[in-house]
Structure 1
Amino acid sequence: MAPFEALYGRRCRTPLCWYESGESAVVGPEIVQQTTEKIKMIQEKMRIAQSRQKSYHDKRRKSLEFQEGDHILERIGEVAYRIALPPSLANLHEVFHVSQLRRYIPDPSHVVQVDDVQVRDNLTVETSPMRIEDRELKQLRGKEIALVKVAWGGPAGGNVTWELESQMKESYPELFA
């Protein structure tokens, strides 16, 4: 018994032809010719498929060239450009392939107004409550706790949280008038 057969309980198949060991296979000029013809047919079909995909791509492709100046700092080679990025995107690489770029059509609605946000030393911003949206009494270990749902304004506006009514009355009495 062969070592492979002893280990795996079956006969070894060679990786070249995948014939069972011990089987006789006739390898002659006919099989070589058939294999060569099949390889040529596969190569031709791959060429046809590649050509079809290229024609699909070429129909949609637009040749783009940009000029140095407006947002484009310089052209690097035939298909790459170094562009001017805002400071908020400083962590990105500034060189892009032309396929990743589009012509910009100026639009005033694209200009975003930046709020003047004052950040404290502990990296928090000041928010203020805008209104009380709801009230609720919670039972906790036999005690009733009054809560209010507060809508907050400020730079991070749009937040809504549940707060203790007593603390909110103490800090912001104008909300309860």
Structure 2
Amino acid sequence: MIASRDRQKSYVDPKRRHIEFQVGHHVFLGVLPMKGIKRFGKKGMLSPRFVGPFEILERIGEVSYRLSMPLAFSGVHNIFHVSMLRKYVLDPSYILSYEALDMQPDLSYEEKPVKILDKKEKALRNKTIRLVKVLWKNGSTQDATWDLETDMREQYPELFR
């Protein structure tokens, strides 16, 4: 039993990075967009999202930190494991425009479509597919996505009225 535990530990240890932050540093916080709702470029695990930066107020234990959270995140606990944080190098010349997301307690948020920007038909070998370009609530026009018109009509019929 001890031998198997040591073998498993030897697989994990070389990949583990020791990350440490100081009080006053700024970090980004990893959040989870709800799967299948928001698709900017890549989707799923290839598309991590981070919000922030947030200032570290206090170190709690070896791997936890208390962050300075805005009122928009009042429903979210302000202590996070180091694995949810990413380093931010503070640059005074860079001005951050912070958009508050409607965060759930599990650090997820739901993206909703605002309007349809464009329509087009894509001809395949033996059929034609109708696509619509959708502007999402927390995105800009550059982040708009092309989706199947049939799927959008089914999920969001109010966009087509």
Bigger helix share: 1
Bigger strand share: 2
Q: Normalised by the shorter chain, which TM-score bucket? A: 0.3 to 0.5
Higher relative CO (CA 8 A, sep ≥ 6), structure 1 or 2? 2
**Higher gyration radius (CA):** 1
